[in-house]
Amino acid sequence: MDVVVAGQGYVGLPLAVRAAEVGHRVIGYDVDTDRVTRLAVGDSYVQDVASSRLRAVLASGAYSATATADALAGFDIAVIAVPTPLRDGVPDLTCIRSCARTLGEHLRPGATVVLESTSYPGTTEEVVVPILEKVSGLKGGVDFQAGFSPERIAPGNKRWSFEGTPKVVSGIDATSLGVIRSFYDGIFQTTVPVSGTRVAEMAKLIENVFRFVNISLVNEMATLAKPLGVDVWEAIDAAATKPFGFTRFTPGPGVGGHCLPIDPLFLSWKIQQELGVPFRFVELADAVNRQMPDYVVRRLAEALDRQHIPVKGSRILLLGLTYKYNATDLRNSPSARVAELLIDLGAEVRGADPNIADDDDTKLNVPRVDASAVEVAAADAVVLLMDHTRFDLPMIEENASYVLDCRNRLSGPNVETL
Ligand code: SAJ
């Protein structure tokens, strides 16, 4: 089939390349012309899509990238995989609306549009379908099909492959569900049909609220166990030996990334809007997770104070600036907040992260240095924020005068854990 995947980021590009590999003619559409230029020459910027795979589908003609909306004419299926950020705590559907309008201009009778971008329950049927109908003059469920299928991209996850991760699918009606399920059955090993788009939209948010709340639980436990004199890490490891009814989460310097700090707030916003009541678990979890960078800085200040080193003028080295273990992505990373708080206290902060690509132009708020023995030894204190595989942990233990280890990976008389 002729497939359009609108949005060629960490969600859209893996889907576009996989759809091309299984035999569809795929157009990867993105409004970012720099991205399209890189894609057109087979240069992948997505961690889980090797450039060699991209070049292969380009060479076969199964995939092409474009920023030109007119190239989308004639699609059988279009998937919307565009960003859904929060703006001042409010869901921003600008990208979804704009994309729906563009697709509406090229929508033909018999075609199908699937939303994959994470949003609150009702987005597909209250926002996307009405725009498609208004722009195209066609009727959803009559002239065209539509539905929602949440993405489950787990960057760097080696255990679950893209096509091996079960895919929830839904439609605005039975015909739409049938077409959408058939499409994804050709790409994923397992599809999970549900009764409607709101169920699928809610399922996605439940997945991420579950993680968000449980991470905040262990984060708060970490801040309380320390003054109680309990090693929360050892206690979590012991709890994790329970073979049922427990999922292991670990404390950290905060919750970053493109999903966890954002998706749950889509749901709490919708509940507040529709029902006029707060989603208390999400609000509490957000408050706990947001204060973890402050807790890291407080622990660091106390440690420096014990060494009679004022924070002001101290030299601090942050190790691991991306948002999670072995990730290359800096979005919403807690390291930025930790650095900001330390700079406000007058510290001289440096950051080291071997996972940040040399051509990553994300503006950091600290000078980047190598994670070298010289830099480690020269710091008054080192903070291990993310325990990337590429860090030389024994070198850090050997050369640091003090380390605040936020991931419980180091040991030694000069090491404290979060
Ligand atoms: N984090 C902790 N403690 C934990 C787990 C995570 O502090 O026990 C922190 C991470 O350091 C990071 C943030 O939370 O800053 C988010 O971590 P994450 O593992 O949830 O990473 P994401 O954002 O890449 O989550 C994605 C999600 N995938 C989708 O939304 C489709 C999530 O649902 C997946 O479960 C997760 O990948 C995964 O398992 O890799």
User: Which amino acid residue places its CA nearest to atom 40 of ligand 1?
Assistant: 154
Q: Is the pLDDT reported for residue 357 higher than 90?
A: no
Per-residue pLDDT of 224-262, as tens digits, reads 999 999 999 999 999 999 999 999 999 999 999 988 999
Mean pLDDT of the chain: 96
| Mean pLDDT of all residues in 355-359 | 84
Please give the pLDDT value at position 187.
Answer: 98
Identical fold for domains 204-289 and 291-417, yes or no, is: no
User: Which amino acid residue places its CA nearest to atom 11 of ligand 1?
Assistant: 324
Per-residue pLDDT of 191-215, as tens digits, reads 999 999 999 999 999 999 999 999 9
Q: Is the pLDDT reported for residue 359 higher than 80?
A: no
pLDDT band at 157 (very low <50, low <70, confident <90, very high): confident
Mutational test site, ligand 1, from 10, 204, 211, max ligand atoms within 8 Å of CB: 211
- Which class is domain 204-289? mainly alpha
Q: Which residue ranges make up each domain of the chain?
A: 2-195, 204-289, 291-417
Question: What pTM value is reported for the model?
Answer: 0.92
Distances (CA, A) of 90 to 84, 95, 210, 390: 10, 14, 20, 37
Total residue count of the chain as it appears in this document: 418
Closest atom of ligand 1 relative to the 157 alpha carbon:
40
Per-residue pLDDT of 103-112, as tens digits, reads 999 999 999 9
Please give the pLDDT value at position 167.
Answer: 98
Q: Is the pLDDT reported for residue 410 higher than 90?
A: yes
Q: Which residues pair with 90 in a beta bridge?
A: 87
**Reduced to 3 states, what is the DSSP secondary structure of residue 112?**
strand
pLDDT band at 99 (very low <50, low <70, confident <90, very high): very high
Closest atom of ligand 1 relative to the 219 alpha carbon:
7
Q: Which residue has the tokens 């204190």?
A: 381
Q: Is the pLDDT reported for residue 156 higher than 80?
A: no
What CATH number should be reported for the domain whose range is 2-195? 3.40.50.720
Q: What fold does the segment set 291-417 form as a domain?
A: Rossmann fold (3.40.50)
